[in-house]
Amino acid sequence: MQSLMLPRAVFAAFDEPNLIADAGLVPLVRLAERVGLPGLVAERLRIGGTGNSGGAHPGAKAMMLIAAMCAGADSIGDTDRLRHGATGLLFGGVRAPSTLGTFLRAFTHGHNRQLHSVHRDFLARLARTTPLLPGVDQVAFADIDPTHRRVYGRAKQGAEVGRFQGIRTLHPILATLSTPLARPVIAAVRLRRGKAADARGAGPFTAEARPAAGQAGAIGTVIVRADSQFYNADVVAACRRANAHFSLTVRMNPHIAAAISAIAEDAWTPIRYPEAFVDPDTGELVSDAEVAETSYTAFTGRKKAEQVTARLIVRRVRRLNAEAAAGQGELFTTWRYHALFTDSPFAMPQAELQHRQHAVIEQVIADGKSGPLAHLPSGNFQANNAWPTLWAIAFNLLRAAGCLAGTFQSRATTATLRAHLVNIPARIARSGRRLTLRLPDRWPWQHAFTDLFDAAHAPPA
């Protein structure tokens, strides 16, 4: 079989003024403009100062950061990828990375709250104008999870050696919104110091994430899902105040063990999963299990008004005995138990399945870590706090673009969306007052790009 071959004489020269590397930013920026993102930033974000001191033209600077993140930038210096070739013919207001760094360092806690407001309203507008969250008015899931991002250098504000021995981290927490028909988008994100406990601020964060979901159209059944670190009275109370259901993993303790042991043997229902899942204790693939439920009163150590009685749904998986597998008989069956505490309105098997689907938030975190969250680029804590919020806006914009581009792109990861729709080279052809993007012949995802381009540039409804 003949391999790819190059001619003997190949030269490289960076001298073409009419080329751009990321032609997919054209429909993305147009979509953001149609939804009103630059105006939202200019209206809400009030940073003092003028010129390069950070305060002037916040809409243009935020848009450049978001566009660079959509193209794959994971640091402030990477925004320089928008200052090449014919980019200036297409986009106005292009700034140098040093100007964008000054802009981010001008942020305070109050400015970050203003940026959170921009993020919430932008998500709501995207959900109204694009097929971003089909079925969100019926059933929606709000997933909450923290993550750690390693940082380097002792000058990073808030970076501490915490959960991971010898590793300095900052500790973001985020909430995603999804439906049974749609991949998750980011409803809220906050940055915390490295030593912050996983559940630190979880109650107020839940109280903020639920209205963001409501603004995005989640007016039906909303279920807040989280792991065991969020199993506490504050999170449950926040869910109930916000008219949301909760579904929380529960750690095994004597009270939970006693409740499980009281379940009758004939109450367990065998289930077989069409797609095997990974057992969190052993890492093994599990296809068969049994589930049962009982009533349980949680937080009995708190005052009566804060105690909550709801459903305890338990999945048990047979514990494999290596000696039995080798031929020795098994005296009695042993089980591993996984419990969740919930007031879900769905039937037991469905509620248990929906809770395990909380793992979709890990895909969002992985997307961030392979892109803009690969670094938290500043030594200033509030600048780093703004960075994940800008990433969340860029992430949601990419998801909306994927939904406009077709069925496959609506389910794709952000890395795939960048490869198919954004990182496309193009030559700018000028004729009179008209600019034409000359894109590669036989581009495999031409139809998806065309669908996105036409939707973003279509006249208003």
Taking alpha carbons only, the member of 154, 153, 150, 155 closest to residue 165 is 150
Least confident of 103-112, 167-176, 233-242, 277-286: 277-286
Q: Which amino acid is at 165?
A: Q
Please check the confidence at residue 446 and state whether its pLDDT lies above 80: yes
Per residue in 146-170, pLDDT (tens digit) is 999 988 878 889 988 877 777 899 9
Determine the pLDDT at residue 320: 61
Contact (CB, 8 A) for 67 and 83: no
**DSSP three-state, residue 434:** strand
Over residues 104-121, the mean pLDDT reads 95
pLDDT at residue number 458: 82
Q: Parallel, antiparallel, or unpaired for β 308-318 and 335-342?
A: antiparallel
Task: Find the mean pLDDT for residues 249-256.
Answer: 93
pLDDT recorded at residue 459: 75
CA-closest candidate to residue 391, choices 159, 137, 182, 191: 191
3-state secondary structure of 310: strand
Question: Whole-model pTM?
Answer: 0.92
Place of tokens 């009163």: 297
Is the pLDDT at 71 greater than 90? The verdict is: yes
| Res. 101: pLDDT tops 60 | yes
Q: Which residue has the tokens 């100007």?
A: 99
DSSP state of 419: I
Give the model's pLDDT for residue 286: 66
Q: Which residue has the higher pLDDT, 52 or 23?
A: 23
Q: Is 156 helix (H, G, I), strand (E, B) or coil?
A: coil
Q: State the pLDDT at residue 385.
A: 95
Average pLDDT value over all residues in the chain: 89
If you average pLDDT over residues 306-324, what whole number do you get? 80
Question: How many CA atoms, within 13 angstroms, populate the side-chain half-sphere of residue 342?
Answer: 27
pLDDT tens digits, 338-373: 999 999 999 999 999 999 999 999 999 999 999 999
Cα(134)–Cα(142) distance, integer angstroms: 15
The one-letter code for the residue type at 238 is A
Query: How far is the C-alpha of 388 from the C-alpha of 108, rounded, in Å?
Result: 15
Residue type at 368 in one-letter notation: G
From CA 254, how far away is CA 260, in angstroms rounded? 10
- If we measure between CA atoms, which residue out of 174, 184, 187 comes closest to residue 216? 187
Tell me the angle at which helices 202-215 and 233-241 cross, rounded to the nearest 10 degrees: 30
Q: Quick one: pLDDT at residue 342?
A: 97
Sheet holding 19-20, edge to edge: 19-20, 426-431, 434-438
Spatial neighbors of 244 by CB under 8 A, at least 6 apart, are 142, 210, 222, 223, 224
Q: What angle do CA 213, 207, 401 make, to 5 degrees?
A: 25
Q: Is the pLDDT of residue 54 over 70?
A: no
Residue 279's pLDDT is what? 65
Q: Which of 90-99, 162-171, 424-433 has the lowest mean pLDDT?
A: 162-171
DSSP assignments along 166-213, one per residue = T-EEE--EEEEEEETTEEEEEEEEE---TT--TTTTHHHHHHHHHHHH
Q: Determine the average pLDDT of the residues in 217-223.
A: 95
Predicted confidence (pLDDT) at residue 126 exceeds the cutoff of 50: yes
How far is Cα 178 from Cα 222, in angstroms, rounded to an integer? Answer: 10
Beta bridge partners of 224: 142, 246
277: pLDDT confidence band, cut at 50, 70 and 90? low
Q: What is the mean pLDDT of residues 215-229?
A: 95
284 pLDDT above the threshold of 70: no
pLDDT digits (tens, 9 = 90+) for 379-406: 999 999 999 999 999 999 999 999 999 8
Instruction: Give the pLDDT of residue 456.
Output: 93
Residues in Cβ contact with 164 at an 8 Å cutoff, skipping those fewer than 6 apart: 148, 150
* Per-residue pLDDT, 336: 84
Q: What is the pLDDT of residue 382?
A: 95
Report percent pLDDT > 70 for the chain. Answer: 91
